[in-house]
Structure 1
């Protein structure tokens, strides 16, 4: 809120440039680490994994053995956090000013729109690679590069832009809610635990606030994500402006309202630790870069 005494973004908002790219990249790397070690018993949780990996192997240890998912997720997170920080600065006139939650939502929505440029092809390749292993027959691609070459060779530029506007439609409300949920929870925890100073929040409160952001993300966009996946799993890239509505009608006709929420619970549950470690990593790295 404009008149708040809470220092809601005193360190994290001081970027708006290369620092956001670095912090976003590391946050994306930490998220991939969580996915790969879940259930291994080696670490107590995502933050334990992050701390021990950096302590024992340095920052580059975060990138070990995960080149394929890392390239996409790190790039997406870098662009996303940079666009979000820049959007806040445009509205407040300063990279260090505290935005209202309304301004946070607008910056998040803008970041989501910008992020679609990378998120759309990354998710297209991910979705189609996941589906090919369960589909009967058809070509099986060894990785995203071979699949991307196939799509461009078969469909031209449309092959890699497949479902772009469906991604935009999802990303705008998703990231408005993502950042607003995080900021609202972070400010509330700072008032309760740190006298309103967000820079005094430790990893666990930051992870709790990040979890709120992850849940908010899916609450705001899940039906749109189902539509996007339907579009990107279709037989050919869609044409015309009405393909999002057409996909929605198809889902409704086949499955009714429940079709828009299939897989909702596991997606929300997965988002809790993923968003927790992403936000906590970003905030802590930004503090370190800002001294």
Structure 2
């Protein structure tokens, strides 16, 4: 197979592996995502959302008052968005690494991993922001909100376009682009930790810049994914809070609660202090630590299977 064709096939293998990882992650942990979103927008002032004491209380309350449907609110856009996002992310990330690898005989430096992840994150944000906005709106719907509910993903899209215009689909795009740093930090930490673990294991296997290492187990990938996720969350979580607050549905009179990111920052700092920027952090960690482990285990193993099947051709 020509080198160029093999490189293209490898990029698509990464996209397929990433999409599979994204689907598995969301399917397993969506209720915690609903809880996280509701905590993020609860600022202690007037709200249609009930108040929850902690993550366990939130899960219990939603299940009791809204049933399983409440725990899985926004599930379709979450699955769709995550599958598309991870697929695109790994595709753009691997493409960027391939480009920067040219001329480098051994492996990429942390800076190149950071730039590759940032480029991939920016592209994904532009493609998927409307999906995440709809997901947020659906997750925040409760029996107490006072206006007509969205019946589903397509109805939400139609209603938003009709009532607010296409620009509304890109609310929160500023924080989303800043959240590119989240993926950049996570993937850089992941790559460097993976290289360190491979070296520590001392099995003589080399980690090339375009893929996994046969010496690492699923447990290794799970630990690496979780560790890199914790570092990324601690640095970038406030951006997620700002985005969620911007993406809330406007009041019944059509007035948004927050006009822009700076308005969110000022109001949050004024009424809640630093703590306000970390609302929902516990449920976020409970969701994303295992989620990241699942993602990288599925990704690396699917990629390994695809490579083995490709090598037989």
> Shorter-normalised TM-score: what interval?
0.7 to 0.9
Q: Give the TM-score taking structure 1 as reference length.
A: 0.77
| C-alpha spacing 1:134/1:119, structure 2 compared with 1 (3 Å) | farther
Partner of 2:198: 190
Partner of 1:90: 99
- 1:67 Cα shift? 5.5
2: CA distance, partners of 1:71 / 1:95: 36
Partner of 1:207: 222
Partner of 1:229: 244
- 1:269 Cα shift? 2.5
| C-alpha spacing 1:136/1:202, structure 2 compared with 1 (3 Å) | same
Contact 2:77–2:135 (8 Å) recurs in 1: no
Aligned residue among 278, 295, 311 for 1:278: 295
2: CA distance, partners of 1:196 / 1:156: 57
1: CA distance, partners of 2:128 / 2:275: 26
C-alpha distance after superposition, 1:21-68 (max 9, x if no partner):
211111112212322699xxxxxxxxxxxxxxxxxxxxxxxxxxx755
C-alpha distance after superposition, 1:113-162 (max 9, x if no partner):
11102331222111111111165311211222111110011122112222
1:104 to 2:113 alignment: yes
- 1:259 Cα shift? 0.6
Question: What SS is found at the alignment partner of 1:23?
Answer: helix
- 1:95 Cα shift? 10
**Residue correspondence of structure 1 range 18-37 to structure 2 within 5 A:** 18-35=12-29
Partner of 1:124: 133
Contact 1:203–1:280 (8 Å) recurs in 2: yes
Greater CA drift, 251-260 or 68-77: 68-77
2: CA distance, partners of 1:37 / 1:154: 29
Q: How many residues align?
A: 249
C-alpha distance after superposition, 1:228-249 (max 9, x if no partner):
111111628999xx92222211
Partner of 2:150: 141
1:176 to 2:184 alignment: yes
Q: Which runs of 5+ in 2 are unaligned?
A: 1-6, 33-74, 206-212, 309-313
Aligned residue among 265, 269, 282 for 2:286: 269
1: CA distance, partners of 2:261 / 2:31: 36
Alpha carbon RMSD of aligned pairs, Å? 2.8
**Residue correspondence of structure 1 range 228-247 to structure 2 within 5 A:** 228-233=243-248, 235=250, 243-247=260-264
2: CA distance, partners of 1:76 / 1:123: 10
